[in-house]
Amino acid sequence: MPSAKGWAICWLFLLGAVLGTGLDAFHVHSKVEHYAVPVLFGLAWWVPLLFGVAAVAIGYSHPMVDPLLGQRRVPRQLMLCIVELVWVLLAYVVSATSIDSHAKAGLTTIIYLNFWFVTGRGWQNVVLSLVTAITGTWV
């Protein structure tokens, strides 16, 4: 039987693979994104693997880096985690709209700043967000 850490990795991977792929399909459907060799619903075969690994990497790297940045996170309640996930969904919806790119960037920035204000307000969160955004774009 897997350990608690093993189950956490499995759940993070599954959550990333399902939700990330679903949100990516939303981008494909709204013609924001296009894959050269789509397999199912306009998505490439490797998309669930990419989002699953990304969820595990983000889910484990941030708590590991927090002590190095002098930040201590308190365990979150399930309802708060669901509310935070809604912010991510809102950002995806904005990014898939047909409005101007500058307006999308502005709205996404407003969404992030509201999320930052509600959930932490620490400079460490800004650093981790920037590193995640740069790394995610690079990959």
| Angle, vertex CA 134, rays to CA 8 and CA 136, nearest 5 | 45
Collapsing DSSP states into helix, strand and coil, what is residue 85?
helix
CA distances from 60 to 29, 86, 112, 117, 120 (A): 31, 21, 21, 23, 18
pLDDT more than 70, % of the chain: 94
Instruction: Classify the C-alpha dihedral 107-108-112-118 as positive or negative.
Output: positive
Residue 65 has pLDDT above 80, yes or no: no
**In the chain, domain spans:** 4-138
Question: Cβ(39)–Cβ(78) under 8 Å?
Answer: no
Distance CA 74, CA 100 (A): 38
Distance CA 8, CA 6 (A): 5
Q: Which two tokens stand for residue 58?
A: 């983000």
108-128 per-position pLDDT tens digit: 888 888 877 777 777 777 777
Spatial CA neighbour of 92 closest among 40, 29, 41 = 29
> In sequence order, what are the residues at sequence separation of 6 or more whose Cβ sits closer than 8 angstroms to the Cβ of residue 134?
none
Model pLDDT, residue 21:
92
Does the predicted model carry a pTM greater than 0.75? no
Q: Which amino acid is at 34?
A: H
14-53 per-position pLDDT tens digit: 999 998 898 888 888 888 788 888 888 889 999 999 999 9
